[in-house]
């Protein structure tokens, strides 16, 4: 019997240990999934497109060579300064300006092509000579177009960017940052045609005055949007790859899932330990992290009570007034954010007094979440009636009248007493 009890105790202890170990492992696994993924690229950022909120960053302000991701700025300037049907003539200078080893568009001197077709070749095939062709068409020269690029970058709020060419061919003075490129990409994605082009998987150049065939077919270099590619990501919607020896692998990418749009930038990527292209694997990890840990959260519902105030000149029955919001408040936030301890900042209108009608705006309430303020109006939930001051005046007047009568009565009584005392005094004499 003693032996049986010992065995039973040992079994129970083992089971307890296993339960504890499983719970601990499960917790660690969740933590690793949510927070501890690795980004091997030198610089990276993940931004929610609608709000501009940064979800993740790694050396996002480090100056880096952007390589062909430069071409998104070229494309948006062309879209804003040209018609898609404008015919562009290929110059000899554009073709000769591209060093050996860089991707070209297989164009011909004096060939004429529409702006639209050249934009597809610029962004999908990443043709460097096409970038020069378009720059010359817009500004007359690469130098003038570069000035236009830098002006636009500053207008958008970029602080560590300098462009010296429209294609990203290596130059020590041609640089940007992950944060700045995310700003530019966010702006570009507001353009419908730009979004359409960067999400296109393949394209055919048409016949032209110098080339009578339609065999100039090319695929998008962004493998995230290619179903037959080894880096296919079903939620990817664009945008642009880049590579030079000095810049290493670069990628600006976008994705959309559950009404959440992300923009990711990774710069200075290389091959991973298992031989994969880090710019794609890093981007997929960033997107997965964002979708697993962030969402749009309605933290205040419509018609929710916020606070109570007292209206001084209101009737006793209506002077305590509840204030509510009429529309919900929604923020983009980490799913683990503690909304229960949010402190409202309430700002009431000046000189609030009765009468007040239900629905009247009496102020606003603001909540700060991760440095961003969310505000909405505070409205009255009920009618507030004003005190009837005339009644108070009547009552006060009545009281004064009574007091006056009493005072008069007291005076008459006193006078009678004095007169009586005088009469008595005379009789004694």
Q: DSSP label at 111?
A: -
Identify any residues that bridge with 240 across adjacent strands, giving them in sequence order.
252
- Domain 43-297 class, CATH top level: alpha beta
* Distance from C-alpha of 313 to C-alpha of 325, rounded to nearest angstrom: 24
Q: Which residue has 């568009």 as its token pair? A: 105
Question: Residue 271: pLDDT band by 50, 70, 90 thresholds?
Answer: confident
Range with lowest mean pLDDT among 25-34, 76-85, 229-238, 262-271: 25-34
Topology alike, domains 43-297 and 301-380: no
Active site (catalytic) residues:
68, 71, 126
DSSP state, residue 371: T
Helix ranges (DSSP H) in 41-141:
71-81, 92-96, 115-120, 128-139
Residue 78, judged by CB atoms within 10 A of its CB (0-12, 13-18, 19+), counts as: buried
Q: φ and ψ at 280, to 5 degrees?
A: -80, -45
% of the chain at pLDDT higher than 90: 79
Distance CA 282, CA 178 (A): 14
d(C-alpha 239, C-alpha 383), whole Å: 55
Peptide bond into 355 cis (omega under 30): yes
- State residue 37's pLDDT score: 74
- CA–CA distance, 136 with 151 (Å, rounded to integer): 17
Q: Average pLDDT of the chain? A: 89
Looking at residue 429, its pLDDT comes to: 55
Q: At 296, is the secondary structure helix, strand, or coil?
A: strand
Sign (positive or negative) of CA dihedral 353, 354, 359, 360: negative
pLDDT(33) > 90: no
Contacts of 114 (CB under 8 A, 6+ apart): 84, 85, 86, 87, 88
Give how far the C-alpha of residue 326 lies from the chain's centroid of Cα atoms, to the nearest Å. 23
Phi first, then psi: give them for residue 23, nearest 5 degrees. Answer: -65, -40
d(CA 275, CA 395): 94
- Pick the more confident residue, 167 or 408: 167
> Which of 206, 248, 240, 207 lies closest to 224 in space, CA to CA?
240
> Domain limits of the chain?
43-297, 301-380
| Distance separating alpha carbons of residues 166 and 185, to the nearest angstrom | 15
How would DSSP label each residue in 190-231?
TSHHHHHHHT--EEE----SS------EEE-S-GGG-TTSTT
- Percent of residues, the chain, with pLDDT higher than 70: 86
State the sign of the Cα–Cα–Cα–Cα dihedral 104, 122, 167, 223: negative
How many other β-carbons are positioned within 10 Å of the β-carbon of residue 18? 10
Q: Which residue has the tokens 């029955």?
A: 317
Binning pLDDT at 50, 70 and 90, where does residue 401 land? confident
- The closest alpha carbon to 194, from 128, 242, 124, belongs to 124
Question: In this model, does residue 25 exceed pLDDT 60?
Answer: no
Strand partners, 260: 257
In the chain, what's the furthest Cα-to-Cα distance? 152
pTM to 2 decimal places: 0.81
CA distance 60 to 350: 45
CATH architecture of 301-380: Sandwich (2.60)
Report pLDDT for 419.
Answer: 64
What are the tens digits of pLDDT across the range 314-344?
999 999 999 999 999 999 999 999 999 999 9
Model confidence pLDDT, tens digit, residues 178-188: 999 999 999 99
7 pLDDT tier (thresholds 50, 70, 90): very low
Please give the Cα distance from 379 to 261 (Å, whole number). Answer: 33
Are 41 and 269 contacting, i.e. CB atoms less than 8 angstroms apart? yes
Number of Cβ within a 10 Å radius of residue 288: 15
């Amino acid at each position: 019997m003693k032996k049986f009890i010992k065995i039973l105790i040992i079994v129970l202890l083992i089971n307890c240990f296993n339960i504890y170990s499983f719970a601990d492992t499960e917790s660690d696994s969740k933590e690793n999934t949510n927070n501890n993924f690795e980004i091997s690229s030198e610089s990276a950022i993940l931004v929610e497109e609608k709000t501009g909120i940064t979800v993740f960053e790694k050396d996002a302000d480090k100056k880096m060579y952007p390589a062909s991701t430069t071409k998104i700025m070229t494309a948006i300037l062309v879209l804003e300064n040209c018609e898609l049907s404008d015919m562009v003539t290929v110059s000899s200078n554009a073709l000769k300006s591209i060093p050996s080893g860089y991707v070209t568009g297989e164009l011909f001197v004096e060939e004429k092509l529409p702006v639209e077709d050249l934009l597809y070749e610029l962004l999908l095939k990443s043709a460097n000579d096409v970038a020069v062709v378009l720059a010359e068409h817009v500004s007359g020269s690469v130098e003038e177009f570069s000035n236009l690029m830098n002006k636009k970058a500053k207008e958008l709020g970029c602080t560590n960017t300098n462009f010296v060419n429209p294609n990203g061919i290596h130059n020590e003075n041609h640089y940007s940052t992950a944060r700045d490129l995310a700003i530019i990409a966010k702006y570009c994605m507001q353009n419908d045609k730009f979004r359409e082009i960067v999400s296109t998987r393949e394209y055919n150049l048409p016949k032209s005055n110098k080339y009578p065939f339609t065999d100039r077919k090319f695929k998008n270099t962004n493998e995230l949007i290619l179903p037959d590619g080894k880096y296919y990501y079903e939620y990817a919607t664009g945008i642009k790859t880049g590579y030079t020896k000095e810049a290493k692998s670069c990628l600006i990418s976008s994705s959309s899932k559950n009404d959440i749009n992300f923009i990711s930038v990774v710069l200075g990527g290389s091959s991973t330990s298992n031989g994969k292209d880090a710019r794609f694997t890093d981007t997929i990890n960033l997107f997965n992290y964002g979708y697993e840990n962030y969402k749009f959260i309605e933290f205040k519902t419509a018609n929710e009570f916020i606070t109570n105030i007292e209206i001084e000149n209101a009737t006793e029955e209506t002077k305590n007034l509840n204030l509510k919001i009429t529309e919900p408040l929604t923020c983009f936030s980490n799913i683990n954010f503690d909304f229960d301890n949010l402190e409202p900042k309430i700002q009431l209108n000046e000189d609030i007094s009765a009468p007040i009608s239900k629905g009247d705006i009496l102020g606003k309430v603001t909540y700060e979440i991760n440095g961003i303020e969310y505000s909405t109006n505070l409205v009255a939930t009920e009618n507030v009636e004003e005190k009837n001051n005339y009644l108070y005046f009547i009552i006060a007047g009545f009281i004064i009248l009574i007091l006056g009568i009493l005072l008069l009565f007291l005076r008459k009584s006193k006078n009678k007493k004095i007169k009586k005392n005088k009469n008595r005094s005379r009789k004694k004499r």
